[in-house]
Amino acid sequence: MILGVNLNHDYAYCKIDGDNIYLLEMERHSRIRHHWNKESYTLAILDDLSVEELKNTETIYLNSPNMDQIEEKGGNLSSLKREYHYRGDYLTLDNNSGLSHGKLEVEGIEIDCTWVSHYHAHAASSFFTSSYDQADILCIDGGGDFGLGAWFYGDKTAINLKSRYLDCQLGLSYHEFSKNVFNVQGRGFYESKVMALAGFGKREKSANKFLKADSTLNDMSAYNKISVHDIAQFQHDFEQGIVDLILKDKKNDYLCCAGGCFLNVSLNRELVERGLYKGIWIPPYTSDMGIAIGCALYAYIDCKGELPPSTLLKNPYLGDHLSVSLEKIKSIIEKSGEEYELHT
């Protein structure tokens, strides 16, 4: 058994066991959007694994933006139920491989364990699940370890770092702009609402510019009121910023994308309509839940020297099997009065 874990918001693990790939994302169980609390920075998500399952685990690949804090705590990843301790190396900015190796100690068992850089894991979740042998890989979000995005070149089972985006703040600016539009303090994700509102605006009716040339956000206190036309203008400038990144480093005929910015449907449509690539792959788990999948695929290649069968990677339904019958589902839909067509 092979495990990949994302210790952050979108707390999740991916398990590859024989012919099965399974994703457990905690928000599906807790109903807490992006599931983000103290346990998300421990290995509590593995507490339900039996000792026998832990013994049969070949390796665990981990990602966390708080890796430096974990190092300060001596590698302590313990939950309330179990003690987990990592012993080994940690990632640094000059480690372009994006991997550092060690051991995880749990229940008297020692398991090979590896840290994966945030953007290497994002890149793996996209490129390794695509059908491309070679591709450009663009990762952009609100921030991870060592930057706010990265550009890679993918080649079969290898991902090669071209550049880290240490100063490009497109994703972070979108996040902060969204919070300002809704006057939100503290944590929260409101990007989807801004994306939706942009569709109601006409950017030519806006006289404002919110993004600076370096992709940072202007001082939002200077704007008394933000209209849907302003939001449409911001969306356009954000999309153009992403296109500019692509034009700078484009090398291959195909593009793989990952990171929260590619939950933006308008951006994705713009990339397709620009015709810059023969094909573009954006997986359904492009947000941080995909980090766990990327970690697990890195681990699989490390153990097996190849990717899992492609048929396993094409299905986005990587969770529990349905516990109710199709007849039960039909009866629920019929009671609602909705029309339906079910395919088995």
Whether 146 contacts 93, CB under 8 Å: yes
DSSP letter string, 69-138: HHHHTTSB---SS--EEEEE----TT-TT-EEEEEEEETTEEEEEEEE-HHHHHHHHHHTTSS-SEEEEE
Query: Cα–chain-centroid distance for residue 336?
Result: 35
**Which of the residue ranges 16-30, 66-80, 221-235 would you say has the lowest mean pLDDT?**
16-30
Q: Is residue 112 domain-shared with residue 165, that is, in the same domain?
A: no
Number of domains in the chain: 2
Q: Is residue 148 domain-shared with residue 186, that is, in the same domain?
A: yes
| Boundaries of domain holding 222 | 132-282
Two tokens at 330? Answer: 């039909």
Is 181 a member of any domain? yes
Whether 60 contacts 45, CB under 8 Å: no
DSSP letter string, 282-327: --TT-STHHHHHHHHHHHHHHHHSSPPPHHHHS-S--SPPPSS-HH
CATH number at residue 277: 3.30.420.40
What is the per-residue pLDDT across 161-214, written as a single tens digit (0 to 9) for each?
Answer: 999 999 899 999 999 999 888 887 766 778 999 999 999 999 999 999 999 989
Q: Is residue 294 domain-shared with residue 278, that is, in the same domain?
A: no
Side-chain-side CA neighbours of 4 within 13 Å: the count stands at 29
Whether 73 contacts 17, CB under 8 Å: no
Q: Strand, helix or coil at 191?
A: helix
112's CB contacts (< 8 A; 6+ apart) are 58, 59, 60, 101, 103, 104
What is the per-residue pLDDT across 239-272, written as a single tens digit (0 to 9) for each?
Answer: 999 999 999 999 999 999 999 999 999 999 999 9
Q: Is residue 146 domain-shared with residue 278, that is, in the same domain?
A: yes
Whether 134 contacts 252, CB under 8 Å: yes
Q: Is residue 11 domain-shared with residue 109, that is, in the same domain?
A: yes
Structure pTM?
A: 0.89
Residue at token pair 């990327």: 294
Is 296 a member of any domain? yes
What is the per-residue pLDDT across 92-128, written as a single tens digit (0 to 9) for each?
Answer: 999 999 999 999 999 999 999 999 999 999 999 999 9
Indicate the residue among 259, 282, 305 that finishes a domain: 282
